[in-house]
Amino acid sequence: MGLRIGYGIDFHQLVTGRDLFIGGVKIPHEKGALGHSDADVLLHAICDALLGAACLGDIGVHFPDTSVEFKNIDSKILLSKTYELIKQEGYSIINIDSTLCLEAPKIKSYVSQMQEVIAGILHISIKDISIKATTTETMGFVGRKEGLVAHACCLITS
């Protein structure tokens, strides 16, 4: 059994006039994440963790922000395509651990929905998906509510 660890991180600016998607769930908030796709920071970090674990590059290699094909795309589609890429290489997912860094909104009440969405796409149990959140105690761009960050780590096996 070959075990591989992957790590992903993603950042997005928060702006008015955009919807906020985190973990495949639309979350009511006065600002949304700015990006070429729907800018789902958590799903992007998970994609990068999975791709990295399989030595398949990163999200920008497979889904470039210069491509019209991916303009405003639902990041759940990107996660699904990422899953297909690692499956083609003979890998399956053991677990995912992630942390969101944001001041607002509070996401605790949405975590179970996010786990369900991600588990459905990746064909793993919700018990194998950890989603945590923290603030930066009002420090930096996250603390000023200008953006948000997601970190993800995954373990895959061949």
Query: Dihedral sign, CA of 101, 43, 112, 145?
Result: positive
Domain limits, the chain: 3-157
Domain at 3-157, CATH homologous superfamily = 2-C-methyl-D-erythritol 2,4-cyclodiphosphate synthase (3.30.1330.50)
Question: What does the pLDDT read at residue 135?
Answer: 95
Question: What does the pLDDT read at residue 66?
Answer: 85
56-74 confidence digits (pLDDT tens): 999 999 998 888 888 889 9
Question: What does the pLDDT read at residue 82?
Answer: 98
How long a stretch of residues is the chain? 158
CB 69 within 8 A of CB 31: no
Question: What does the pLDDT read at residue 70?
Answer: 83
Average pLDDT of span 90-110 = 97
Question: What does the pLDDT read at residue 64?
Answer: 86
Average pLDDT of span 109-126 = 98
Q: Write down the pTM of the prediction.
A: 0.96
Look at residue 118 and tell me whether its pLDDT is greater than 70.
Answer: yes
d(C-alpha 139, C-alpha 145), whole Å:
10
d(C-alpha 123, C-alpha 32), whole Å:
28
Question: What does the pLDDT read at residue 150?
Answer: 98
Look at residue 1 and tell me whether its pLDDT is greater than 80.
Answer: no
Q: How do strand 129-134 and strand 92-101 relate by DSSP bridges?
A: parallel
